[in-house]
Amino acid sequence: MQLQNEKLQNLQINEDALGEGAEGIIYEVIAPEKYMGYVVKIYKDKVQAQGIQEKIKYLIKNKPALKDTESIIFPEEMVYDHGSFAGFLMKKARGSYDLTTLCTLKPSSRLPRPWHEKYDRQTTHGMRNRRIMCYNIAATINELHRTRKFTFVDIKPENIKVDFDGKVSIVDTDSIAISDGFEMLFPAEKFTQEYSPIEFKDLNLKADLIEETWDRFSISIIFYKILFGIHPYAGTCKGDYANLNSNEQKIMEGLFPNGKKKEHFDIIPEPHKKFKEAPSRVRKLFLNTFEEGLHLPTRRASAEDWCKVFKEAKPSFFELFQHKIKTFFKKIKKEKKTEQLVFQTHSEAPANSGLVPAMIIFALFTVIAVYVLRQNDARRLQEIEQAYGQVKQMEATQFVKQSLIYDGHDAVEELYENVSWVRVGDKFGLISIDREYLTALKYDWANDFKSGLSAVRLNGKYGFVDKYGKEVIPIQYDYVTNFKGDVALARKDRVYYFINRKGVALKGYQEVGDFYQGIATFKKDGLWGYLNERGDIIAEAQYDFAYPFMEGRAKVNYMGKYGYIDTKGNLVIPTKYDTGGAFRDGKTIVSIGEENFEIDYWGKITP
């Protein structure tokens, strides 16, 4: 190969490949000097290379500005072989190992010994480090999802490089799905079924818009494997499901061993039992994703949701101190064994007579330090109880109330004004604090109460129930959101409606987007506009495309040109730009022709 970059500079590469996949081979660049630390991906199939060329150009031109530039490895320059497009230049990913090495029950033997100790699932310290790594993955994916342009689709452990400190680099981004938020620009090149949600069977991956809710399912599987060392759907089924052998088949049937269909398993592997030991907020996000989220993608835990629960993984001072003590004694024990071996081999060598006194002194110091820490903790707890004793008592009362109705039920949700949803087997029912059933145990799913109403599902359709158990909005919709104030979004026969608390439809739309800053996009008669959570129209449907609000501004496209509106629907920056980005810290990049420049909230060019 005779490789050149876009400026026709010759590239010299190491002939020994760093890695190889189904589509391409990765080589390290060794000259010129400014590309040290870079690699090239060369496509094996020249026809495939030509087909993906425009996508690579787009990725290079629209590479997102990430806080950690190494967290996701994007193409940076096109690479040519004898003048023909052959691949692209990119930074070398951090870390020598991919995430698969930490996703099995025991860390891979390829990992050095310190990795085994740092990520040991049998220790509190090891599980903390695993949750910190999960946080780094979630934060990276959340940052990309916020652009509303990219969906990984094929995110899996093989595509995530990790270093010893738990930092990550996500690779293989040339297979990512790219959209403008509403229409597919470049499809995903592939997906891996055992990390994919059930909608893969209904979507045309080459044409349909792939939402980030697809990635939510994939990353939850990855986090489960990091924490428990097993695929969340692994196990041996019985009865009607006895012939299901692959994880993919069990995903399709919603057979999560820690979920409502666990009775259909003949053998549940031991690692799944660790699920009960995980923090309650972590368990809830997994259940949201693998249970309710199986058929309701928006119920799946987002990357941002995972960030919030994993952010608490930072170890306390006491845990760090405890880990250092254990490490010290392991080292002492190892040295003692070595000394005994040397003494047995060379009988004339004297034993280290000072070892035992040193251990006794260190142990005494440890006991004193732990005692001081516990005294401080006890004193702080006493101060909290004195200041917030009443609040603590109220919380205890709430817990006692919930406990009173737990007996005889498989699950009890949080109390809402002295009523709670309970589950027996696969069915939900509403019960009062006096253990009086307000509804039969008949619903397939029930959501938390929001604004006094709870969404329920029965035979694939959705409606709403009030706190008295009355179905105030009939179960007839294909999809609903929670009530926000006096309105909720519902879909029936492929038409979206805003409904009020009596179930009366306010408006009919072709499509309604998610709410950002209290405002959502809607599509009507082929054009886009904006409305608020009450269903009031902020901007009439008049734009070819409409994008979510960021920092009080939303990008709109009219006749192929971009501009920006404010939260009142006023066009504050005219639609005259060829391209435009989302506002960040009061600024964004726009272009006219080949000229790029930065503007503020009012369209003024910044210095």
pLDDT in tens, 280-319: 889 999 999 999 899 888 889 999 999 999 987 554 444 4
- CATH 3.30.200.20 residue ranges in the chain? 3-91
The CATH class given to the 97-231+270-313 domain equals mainly alpha
Q: How confident is the model at residue 394 (pLDDT cuts 50, 70, 90)?
A: very low
Coil/strand/helix, residue 181: coil
* Own/partner pairs, 324-328, CB within 8 angstroms, 24+ separation: 325/366, 326/123, 327/117, 328/362
Check residue 130 and give its pLDDT. 95
Tell me which of 19 and 344 has the higher pLDDT. 19
| Residue 534 CA: distances (Å) to CA of 136, 314, 491, 572 | 37, 40, 16, 24
pLDDT at 402 exceeding the cut of 70 = no
Which tokens go with 266? 């003949």
Residue pLDDT, tens place only, 499-523: 888 888 866 677 777 677 778 888 8
Tell me which of 471 and 373 has the higher pLDDT. 471
pLDDT at 392 exceeding the cut of 80 = no
Burial of 319-333, coded b for 16+ CB within 10 Å and e otherwise, reads eeebbebeeeeeeee
- CATH 1.10.510.10 residue ranges in the chain? 97-231+270-313
Asked whether the beta carbons of 209 and 184 are under 8 A apart, the reply is yes
Tell me which of 56 and 329 has the higher pLDDT. 56
Q: Give the whole-angstrom CA distance, residue 246 versus residue 252.
A: 10
Residue pLDDT, tens place only, 22-75: 789 999 999 888 898 999 999 988 887 888 999 999 999 999 989 898 999 999
Fold of 3-91: Phosphorylase Kinase; domain 1 (3.30.200)
Q: Give the whole-angstrom CA distance, residue 521 versus residue 512.
A: 6
Check residue 401 and give its pLDDT. 52
**Torsion over CA of 565, 571, 576 and 582, rounded to 10 degrees?**
-10
DSSP lists the bridge partners of residue 72 as: 170
pTM of the full predicted structure? 0.57
The mean pLDDT value of the chain amounts to 84
Check residue 407 and give its pLDDT. 65
Range scoring the smallest mean pLDDT among 220-229, 329-338, 481-490, 590-599: 329-338
